[in-house]
Amino acid sequence: MSFALLARQTLARCRPRYVREYHRTPQAALKSDVLSRLARVGLFSGALVGAALAYGPSPLYSDAREAQGPRKFQPSLSSLVRSYIVFSACSVPFLVDSAPTLLSVVMVIPGVKQVAEAVVRVTFFKHFVGGDTAEDCLPLLEQYRSENKGCLFAYSVEVDEDEAAGNSSKHGNVQPKYKQGVAEMIHSIDVAADFEDRHIVKSADPAKGRRTWVAVKLTALLPHAQALINFSKHLVQTRPAFPNVAFPGMPHPDDLDVLYSKIPSEHLTEADITELRELHEDLVKICTRAAERGVRIIMDAEYSWYQPAIDAFVHALMREFNKLTISPASSHSSVNVQPLIYQTYQAYLRRTPEYLARSIVESRRENYALGVKLVRGAYHPHETAAHPTTATSSTSSPAEDLALKKLSISPDPDPPVWQHKSETDARYDACAALLINHIKSDIHDAHNGWRLWSRGREADVPRIGVLFGTHNWASARNILELLTKSDIGLAEKIQEGGEEVYRIGEAATERLTMGQLYGMCDELTDYLVGKTRCSAPFVIKYIPYGALSEVMPYLSRRAIENKSVLGNGAATAERKRAWAEIRKRVLG
């Protein structure tokens, strides 16, 4: 009884007071609001920590019911408290923007560093990061698989370019960070494959139903990201132009020739070419292991000044590893997962609708499977700040604005991104409809005689695979509805326990997936899992991992990059959901 009274009193004190104070400057008001909110968070979490401990350590979600029945997931009280604290901080733009500076300051102060790491570990790290190592993530993977969810591994350690520049004398026999990243990518592929091998039914096709994938970020795999920018400049100037495809343009089969010829380039130094050639070799190693183990690779998109170079590498890898005319002698794998390599298409780029349509046509012509990860895009403020015509629209600091203005390599008069969210939303939904139609066409062709003869047996091999990455409820519901349209027929609506759900066919399940970031939009994830019935997990979570000290730069950078996700009230909505559930648990 006394605890309930204390909780009620604490909750009453924590309620926000919306009082306008006109006598204060906006800066002072913002600072006061930040401190007030942090104080409320601290008071609130302190009052509830006893209750959270009393409930005992419990998983983030209770075990799911069997796949055929309704799914109800209950977060533990401790995870709800953590969510409230994390999203309270994320809903304050000042804190998000200041995170890199604050971390850089506190991490060099003895004593304070240890306290800061401890706080970050039990809050942001535990909420947004799966663990320090790939093996640390395995309990989370097991939990997610019990809930019929998959996983997209993402080793998220940033490269220290200053350290990498002196690796020959500084590291001795120790690999530089970017080489450690390559080795860890390969290791994560093995961890993912071993996990899937334990869960695949022995009598089933080992290539089907594998929903533990690996994300690859190219800028983390070479010592200087500037080499990618220089390569992008070279490509923008030299590759053939494609009508109606805006910057960053479209890759060409000859893009990598400059790395293996003696043709001089205005933008590429010998050091650049050496690093880029090494990157290509390392990417081939990563993809070869992925093919051997049957693990899909998702190539992350980045800023537009990197994108022409990224497109060139990914296009070359897809032509090699997604090739559909594979003879037994040249096959990379006994587990023929296709598409193996996925490229990320950002709907906020003006080029994307035309680029995606041309990519589909080209993949058919060159006979390789096209892997598509469709997202809206996370770098909009940076892209508008970098382009000369929209530089004044940035919300970044003046110093960051100046640095960004030097990065744009777009020759187009318009910025590479759409200016309004509604424009991006419309392109995302249009691209989703295009992709679903091509999935339908691919399944139809497979059922009507299109076959790949490989390894001495006949097999249906997808020519297209799609991962829809979205935190948008309207887009998610739209995708489900598109699957059931009479002229598509990839899924059907059925009644189950008085609830309408979507039963998705096996052929469609092998060709499409939906995903959200770990620690975000869990309500949408659970909704999609609960609304679908299929032979493999339909939803995957993007799970970063890495040592705390090495991941903290990633966490602060990701928070800023993902303001498009956390903004527009998303972080506030997540906080309010956690708050409402906590009140329900504590007060009944």
Q: What is the pLDDT of residues 90-146, one digit of tens each?
A: 888 788 778 778 887 888 888 888 998 899 899 999 999 999 999 999 999 999 999
60 Cα distance to chain centroid: 20
Q: Give, as one character, the DSSP assignment of residue 305.
A: T
- Is 70 exceeded by the pLDDT of residue 369? yes
pTM to 2 decimal places: 0.83
pLDDT digits (tens, 9 = 90+) for 479-492: 999 999 867 789 99
Query: What whole-number distance in Å separates Cα of residue 435 and Cα of residue 282?
Result: 30
Q: What is the pLDDT of residue 105?
A: 85
Taking residues 48-63, what's their average pLDDT? Answer: 31
- Residue 34 in any domain: the answer is no
Q: Cα separation of 370 and 442, whole Å?
A: 11
Percent of the chain with pLDDT over 70: 75
CATH number of the domain that 553 lies in?
A: 3.20.20.220
Q: Residue 300 has what DSSP assignment? A: P
Amino acid at 234: H
Rounded CA-CA distance 525/471 in Å is 9
pLDDT at 20: 38
Does residue 464 lie within any of the structural domains? yes
Residue pair 384/409 in contact by the 8 Å Cβ criterion: no
In a domain, 66, yes or no: no
* 150 neighbors 513 (Cβ within 8 angstroms): yes
Evaluate whether 405 touches 391 at the Cβ level (below 8 Å): yes
Cα separations (Å) of 339 from 72, 222, 296, 349, 463?
33, 25, 7, 24, 7
Tokens of 371: 């892997």
Q: What is the pLDDT of residue 574?
A: 85
Write out the residue range of the structural domain in which residue 302 sits. 129-159+173-378+420-568
- Is residue 487 included in any domain, yes or no? yes
Among the listed ranges 28-37, 149-158, 460-469, which one has the minimum average pLDDT value? 28-37
Locate 466 and state its tokens: 């799609």
Rounded distance, CA 239 to CA 352, Å?
18
pLDDT of residue 451: 52
Q: Is residue 246 part of a domain?
A: yes
What's the rounded mean pLDDT across residues 378-401? 71
Nearest residue to 556 via CA among 180, 89, 130: 89
CA distances from 362 to 32, 139, 179, 210 (A): 56, 41, 33, 27
Asked if residue 51 lies in contact with residue 586, where contact means CB atoms within 8 angstroms, the answer is yes
Mean pLDDT, residues 8-31 taken together = 41
Query: Number of C-alpha atoms within 13 angstroms, CB side, residue 533?
Result: 16
Domain count for the chain, please give it.
1
Q: Is residue 22 part of a domain?
A: no
Instruction: For residue 119, tell me if it sits in a domain.
Output: no
Higher pLDDT, 568 or 479: 479
Q: Which token pair is 368?
A: 């390789």
CA atoms of 401 and 393, how far apart (whole Å):
10
Point out the least confidently predicted range of 47-51, 181-185, 334-338.
47-51
In the numeric block, which tokens belong to residue 50? 């006893």
Q: Per the domain annotation, does 190 fall within a domain?
A: yes
Rounded Cα–Cα distance for residues 215 and 188 (Å) = 10
Residue with tokens 């998705």, as numbered in its chain: 504
